[in-house]
Homo-oligomer: A and B are copies of this chain.
Amino acid sequence: MSRRVVVIGGGAGGPSTAAEASRRDPSLSITMIEQGEYVSYAACSMPYYIGDLIKDESKLIARTPEKFREGGVDVRTGVQAEGVDLKDQVVTLVGGETLPFDVLVLATGARPILPGIPGEDLEGVFTLKQLPDAIGIKKYLREIKCRKAIIVGAGFIGMEMCEAFVDAGVETTMVNMGKMPVPRWDPELGQLILESLKSHRIKLLAETKSLAIEKGGSCNLRLITNNGHFEADLILLAIGVRPSVGLAGEMGLVLGRTGAISVNLSQRTSHPSVYAVGDCCEAFHRVSKQWTNVPLGDIANKQGRVAGQNLAGFPSIFPGIVGAQAFKLFDLEIAATGLDEREAIAAGYSPVSTLIWGEVVPLSLPGETRLGLKLLADKSTGLLLGAQAVGPHGAVSRINTLSAALWSGLPVEEVGYLDLAYAPPFSRAWDLIHIAAQDLMKEMG
């Protein structure tokens, strides 16, 4: 009899696992269950779908259930797992049906954190994590009359969504508990973000705590905060996500310090028949040397590929992450990698940093633009620890180059002499990477 694989969760990591496993070993009997209606979609593109750069939700689907079935993977949507019996190796579905397995893959994802305030369940209050959320928001946006939205939270999803709302012609206010948005980035770099929000007429209320949501007067809803009341037809709660580990917890799987499912490099959990991939599990951070939980789609895809290979009998490891991340905000590229000061100290390093501003290309050429680049290094070892960049062009490119440097544990001294492809239309002979690294060397003395 062929080995039976059950995959719980159809967002990104689950489909990636199922696709890779079926490709590697067509004899596997693979069933993927998903409680929602959709599987295998590009969740990271949802803001662009809402902003209508992507017209149709079908464009977000990487692989349809039919396509999976052609590849020998049985996809069942609208089906929820109620419990897992690890001794008998059986998944029990809501409704009583059972799915026996030889190998189980948990790809249960993450769910939005709710502020826990009165009225957060009112109509017009949304979170954004799964495709139906996006479809719901887009549909609702077409109907609302007062064309006003409030985003609670100023993380990167909040940022992408405020651009989407502006694209959709909606007046947007952001309400943020912290002083600065996206605190991963240095406040000096955050200044560019504030200016961009301002120039697009987005109001950002800093150090503002949301207290309640109630029915509105001129608009459908009213948000009550410690800084006043604000009306809007749509309120998006975007204060973060946490891993969905209810099932894993009930199964007695080991959870890590982050609260996500603990896995090893081959994506195996504490139980030898159970793998976990994606937002619900941890990933090894190559710079902090700690297991972290970073809920990003590209990581889920990679972990799924590794799990799929392993369960199909092709040994493989996921070599970990360095914390590379980027988002676009109107005309700005905002990117970071590695650790920030707080994370570096938590990992045991002694961070020193530098932050420089410069033109990406030589001053004498047209199209010049100022990029801010911050580098962090460890004072005791001279190792590069992290980088942050914000600017109209070249931020992501530089962060990716520095991510490859972090991946290998390069000392800042070598980063100062990295051999990069230089031509005047693309960079200066001493790229900002070199200038920042050499500046940081001076800081380290």
Task: Give the B-binding residues of A (Cβ under 8 A).
Answer: 12, 42, 44-45, 48, 53-54, 59-60, 160, 286, 296-299, 301-302, 306, 318-328, 333, 335-337, 362-366, 396-397, 399-405, 407-410, 414, 417-427, 429-430, 434
**In the complex, which of the residues B323, B365, B418, B419 contacts A419, with contact meaning CB atoms closer than 8 Å?**
B323
Query: Closest CB-CB distance, A325 to chain B, in whole Å?
Result: 6
Cβ–Cβ < 8 Å partners of A429 in chain B: 12, 42, 44, 297-298, 301
- The count of identical subunits is 2
If A337-B421, A396-B421 are given as contacts, then 15 extra A-B residue pairs at C-beta distance below 8 Å, sorted by A number, are A44-B422, A44-B424, A54-B364, A59-B363, A286-B419, A298-B420, A299-B419, A325-B421, A396-B423, A400-B401, A401-B403, A403-B420, A404-B408, A404-B418, A405-B408
Query: Closest CB-CB distance, A296 to chain B, in whole Å?
Result: 7
Query: Closest CB-CB distance, A113 to chain B, in whole Å?
Result: 21
Residues A326 and B426 in contact in the complex (CB < 8 Å), given A319-B417, A401-B401, A403-B421: yes
Of all chain B residues, the one with the shortest Cβ separation from A44 is B424
Query: Closest CB-CB distance, A46 to chain B, in whole Å?
Result: 9
Instruction: List 10 tightest A-B contacts by C-beta distance, closest first.
Output: A408-B408, A326-B421, A404-B404, A397-B397, A59-B364, A298-B422, A324-B421, A328-B425, A321-B419, A400-B401
Query: Closest CB-CB distance, A320 to chain B, in whole Å?
Result: 7
Query: Closest CB-CB distance, A10 to chain B, in whole Å?
Result: 16
CA distance A429 to B301 in the complex (A): 8
**In the complex, which of the residues B48, B296, B336, B426 contacts A365, with contact meaning CB atoms closer than 8 Å?**
B48
CA distance A333 to B54 in the complex (A): 27
